[in-house]
Amino acid sequence: MSNSQPISSTVYILNIEPGYEGQRIDNFLINHLKGVPKSLVYRILRRGEVRVNKGRIKANYRLQVGDQVRVPPVRMAEKDEPGRVDSRQLDRLEKAIIFEDKRLLVLNKPSGVAVHGGSGLSFGVIEALRQLRPEEHQLELVHRLDRETSGCLLIAKRRSALRTLHELMRSNGIDKRYITLVKGHWRRDRVEVDAPLLKNTLQGGERVVVVDPRGKESVTRFSIRERMGNFLLIEARLMTGRTHQIRVHAAHLGTPILGDEKYGDAAANREAKELGLRRLFLHAETLRFRWPDEKQDLVFRAPLEPVLDELLTRIRAKAS
């Protein structure tokens, strides 16, 4: 088939290492066979082509350390594979690491860098980190940030850590705070936006998110950090984690984020550009959570890029 390529042309065996125990075999295969349709994964499971310790298993089988998983030949659609990341970009990301231990890594992700490569992008954060840490075989993104958003990004170094962090996210146990800059006036210092969000795809294929009663529940708590003339420096706390949530909720209030080409105001963006803004002013500033059975919170803070600090200095001077 001209439009497909084999992941493997022969049967091969995977030995399950510590960190993968307890994971369902279907989820394990979906993650391992990246790009293969889920329907195909379930088909090879139903047909008994996937075997564990030489025996047939069901899709809900949970893996154990030492299991030997037989994986049959499968094919996947061709896709752009991210290339090797050059040393300059690797050095930039190495310097952006703000915390690392045996369980996790926290990166102050630069604006303009995607979390994943592919789709025309030469590389993403996760591919670069796997190149930086070749000895770490279980690096996975815990959550995502938009390409133009900077700040705290969590990466798990163990499957067990990934499960723990995902459970904390599901139970709202991770406090995520962003800072952003808007133009306009609010009468109150604190505003909670509870507006459901729905993903739409436009005719040209561009994905946008809109406030719509048919959408998923979405809650953002905004508070003003500083008033600077016609500009407001805002803290946003995510109570849910929807695509483009802060950007759409800020626009819903009538004060879209400066530098936002998708949901923003063209005139306000032009004014901000004249002051030196060349990117989306949205930064994931802090993450706070408590690891199960530990007594103290873990708190991570990512400083603003110097260009954003300099912009704020100019705005303050203009407003005084």
Give the pLDDT band of residue 17 (cuts 50, 70, 90): confident
Give the pLDDT band of residue 4 (cuts 50, 70, 90): very low
Q: CA nearest 288: which of 144, 156, 155, 177?
A: 177
Residue 3 confidence (pLDDT) above 70: no
pLDDT digits (tens, 9 = 90+) for 61-114: 999 988 999 999 886 554 444 457 778 888 889 999 999 999 999 999 999 988
Taking a C-beta distance cutoff of 8 angstroms, is the pair 173, 143 a contact?
no
Handedness of CA 154, 104, 163, 28 (dihedral sign): positive
What does the alpha-carbon distance between residue 265 and residue 245 come to, in Å, rounded to a whole number?
A: 17
Domains 4-77 and 87-166 fall in the same CATH topology: no
> Which pLDDT belongs to residue 118?
54
The SS3 assignment for 117 reads coil
**Neighbouring C-beta atoms of residue 75, cutoff 10 Å:** 16
> Domain spanning 4-77 has what CATH number?
3.10.290.10
Taking a C-beta distance cutoff of 8 angstroms, is the pair 139, 191 a contact?
no
What are the residue ranges spanned by the domains of the chain?
A: 4-77, 87-166, 174-319
Residue 124 confidence (pLDDT) above 90: no
State which fold the 87-166 domain adopts. Answer: Pseudouridine synthase (3.30.2350)
Taking a C-beta distance cutoff of 8 angstroms, is the pair 226, 236 a contact?
no
Enzyme catalytic residues:
146
Contacts of 141 (CB under 8 A, 6+ apart): 115, 116, 125, 126, 153, 154, 155, 156
> Which pLDDT belongs to residue 75?
66
- What proportion of the chain, given as a percentage, has pLDDT over 90? 62
114: tokens are 């995607």
> Domain spanning 174-319 has what CATH number?
3.30.2350.10
The SS3 assignment for 265 reads coil
